Amino acid sequence: MTNINIKKILSTYDKNNITIATVCSHSSLQIFNGARREGFKTLGISVGEIKKFYDAFPLGKPNEFFIVEKYKDIIKYSDELKEKNVIIIPHGSFVEYLGARNFLKLDLPTFGNRNVLLWESDRNKERKWLESAGLTMPQEIKDPRQIDKPVIVKYHGAKGGKGFFIAKTYEEFSKRVEKDKLYSIQEFVMGTRYYLHYFYSPIQSNAYKLSKGSLQLLSMDRRDETTIDEVQRLGSIAELEELGIHPTFVVTGNIPIVMRESLLPKVFRMGEAVVEKSLELFGGVIGSFCLETVVTEELEFKVFEISARIVAGTNPYVSGSPYSELIQPGLSTGRRIAQEIKYATKHDVLDKILT
Ligand code: AMP
């Protein structure tokens, strides 16, 4: 749990002069652009050096850079950052490189509910949360000897799909598994992948209404993963595996996508259930979150993961998505986050969306 006293820190802040900050990576161009469009100052925390590529994107460049030697040093500079009235927008790289434990200790107002980390980073707790919300997850195989259909083996804490592999039998599993690492084995779900980008506001009720606040669907994407997504250019997976060439699941980019409209009610029911359960378990998954799903040929969703913050899959939509356009033209997730902070500042409820 995070024990940061947000109200106390906020009482020292100049609310008319808030700076939106994030680490220069992942979805930072979109976050800076969205903050800028809502009238905020922006600060880019950059590790090692100023990243030159921002010069090529003036509307996604932060007003100011803050250089640290290594990610873990961000903790050391929290007083300096507080003087700049900084609100941190965490993203996947931010949390991963800083480390979950350090992130929980970071003595700065952070968008979203940091307590979600305890439920999200432990695969057993994540499953408990999603299944108790009524979502269907891929079956888990506890004993590798019981592998009797294609499975995907995932190493704990491995981000971006690194090291994951497919096995169809116990023998294949044994040959490939790295025994010194913690892993879990899931049924490999056949279907098409959709990564759904939601936004939950506990303080505004002008969207899909929940018991407290409301829910939006801002966009969706499909991840582009090397080599699995293009391996068929060389031959079938079975053929290649015989040659000792195994597909990998390393994320290299994101592809925009829309879903058949008749599935949208299910998408909202899933989002609703996840939020309602999160309110019960740990005070709510606040702001952006993403359900990573496979839709089967029976048109059922199987959810294999949740990400409880802005995901890089929102990056194709800096100027809006086919869904967010129906909320407000030009609305990106980065901009929606800035709007939430603006609304909360105006109504003096910042402590309801920051931890
Ligand atoms: P994850 O780290 O759980 O997001 O998984 C990395 C990638 O592996 C995903 O983006 C999917 O392409 C694939 N994947 C994960 N779990 C499954 C599953 N149960 N069935 C099929 N593909 C999966």
Mean pLDDT (the chain, rounded): 95
Q: Indicate whether 122 pLDDT > 90.
A: no
Work out whether the CA dihedral 247, 253, 258, 259 comes out positive or negative.
positive
Q: What is the C-alpha separation between 91 and 87, in angstroms, rounded?
A: 13
Model pLDDT, residue 207: 98
Q: Of all protein residues, whose CA lies closest to atom 19 belonging to ligand 1?
A: 188
Separation of CA 269 and ligand 1 centre (Å):
22
Q: Indicate whether 158 pLDDT > 80.
A: no
User: Which residue out of 126, 147, 151, 152 has the highest number of ligand 1 atoms within 8 Å of its CB and is therefore the one to mutate?
Assistant: 152
User: Which residue out of 292, 300, 302, 307 has the highest number of ligand 1 atoms within 8 Å of its CB and is therefore the one to mutate?
Assistant: 292
Q: 35-86: per-residue pLDDT in tens?
A: 999 999 999 999 998 899 999 999 999 999 999 999 899 999 999 999 999 9
* Global pTM exceeds 0.85: yes
Q: What is the C-alpha separation between 99 and 86, in angstroms, rounded?
A: 20
**Please, which residues have CB within 8 angstroms of residue 91's CB and are 6 or more apart in sequence?**
22, 23, 25, 26, 27, 28, 31, 309, 310, 311, 312
Q: What is the C-alpha separation between 77 and 67, in angstroms, rounded?
A: 10
